[in-house]
């Protein structure tokens, strides 16, 4: 009888270990809660962006862990980090992806209750002079001594290179999966899609990087939802499912 019980126990251990799903322990993500410390981010209705994004990042941390990922937070508490420090952490850890979490806001009070929605951004070249300047500074060492034509060719190849294409793909997968998760319960939730933008925190990243604006803190309905743990959980799970999909595809393409 004793032997039989041992057999059952060992059998269950094998069964349990076999239920863990695919091994994702080689994947590493760095997640970034925007703002922190003296930088409160957007504020409305007595709520602060820095607190909201920290709550979501903690949920995101758990969700990635549950999927077997290695995961690091740029900040796990209420402290300030410069934008450069955030992407440096991702570089140091050699993360597969970098995800920055923010909340949106508008300045025009009369439009607070009409503007809402979840948006995911990735870095892309725009006609904006500021983003050009940032790119030139980023590539200063490469560009030294090159004439204007070759400078433009180099800038183009950096900004339109694999990192941008990959960040774009990642943004699409993450945005879609967040909306799927959120809309399953909150059918009227709005999605603003995925968009290119010259965010500095993404400019510094040398890996697929996105910035998720989880919603408008200035919109009463969305603000209330954003501070609801169930809603936060859905955003976190959607992000993880999006990253799963993106990395599954990438590994398939690379033949890993």
Residues that bind Zn ion in the complex, under the rule CB under 5 A: 34, 41, 102
Pick 40 or 143: Cβ nearer Zn ion: 40
Q: How far is the CB of 50 from Zn ion (least distance, A)?
A: 8
Pick 100 or 177: Cβ nearer Zn ion: 100
Q: Are 117 and 103 in contact (CB under 8 A)?
A: no
Q: How far is the CB of 104 from Zn ion (least distance, A)?
A: 8
Task: Name the residue with the smallest CB distance to Zn ion.
Answer: 102
Pick 41 or 198: Cβ nearer Zn ion: 41
Q: What Å distances lie between residue 133 and 128, 129, 138, 195, 235, CA to CA?
A: 9, 6, 9, 20, 34
Q: How far is the CB of 24 from Zn ion (least distance, A)?
A: 29
DSSP string, 142-211: HHTT--HHHHHHHHHHHHTSHHHHHHHHHHHHHHHHHHHHHHTT-TT--EEEEEE---HHHHT-SS-EEE
Q: How far is the CB of 103 from Zn ion (least distance, A)?
A: 6
Pick 172 or 201: Cβ nearer Zn ion: 201
């Amino acid at each position: 009888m004793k032997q039989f019980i041992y057999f059952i126990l060992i059998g269950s251990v094998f069964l349990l270990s076999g239920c863990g799903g695919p091994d994702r322990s080689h994947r590493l993500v760095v997640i970034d809660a925007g703002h922190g410390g003296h930088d409160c981010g957007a504020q409305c209705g007595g709520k602060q962006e820095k607190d909201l994004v920290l709550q979501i990042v903690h949920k995101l941390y758990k969700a990635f862990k549950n999927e077997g990922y290695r995961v690091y937070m740029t900040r796990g508490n209420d402290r300030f980090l410069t934008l450069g420090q955030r992407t440096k952490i991702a570089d140091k850890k050699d993360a597969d992806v970098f995800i920055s979490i923010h909340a949106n806001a508008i300045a025009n009070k009369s439009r607070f209750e009409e503007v809402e929605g979840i948006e995911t951004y990735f870095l892309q070249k725009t006609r904006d002079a500021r983003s050009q300047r940032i790119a030139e500074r980023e590539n200063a060492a490469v560009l030294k001594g090159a004439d204007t034509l070759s400078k433009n060719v180099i800038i183009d190849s950096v900004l339109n290179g694999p990192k941008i294409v990959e960040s774009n793909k990642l943004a699409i997968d993450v945005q879609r999966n967040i909306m799927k998760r959120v809309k399953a319960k909150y059918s009227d939730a709005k999605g603003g899609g995925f968009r290119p933008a010259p965010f500095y925190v993404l400019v510094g990243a040398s890996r697929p990087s996105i910035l998720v604006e989880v919603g408008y803190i200035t919109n009463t309905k969305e603000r209330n939802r954003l501070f609801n743990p169930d809603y936060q959980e859905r955003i976190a799970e959607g992000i993880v499912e999006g990253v799963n999909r993106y990395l599954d595809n990438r590994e398939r393409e690379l033949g890993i």
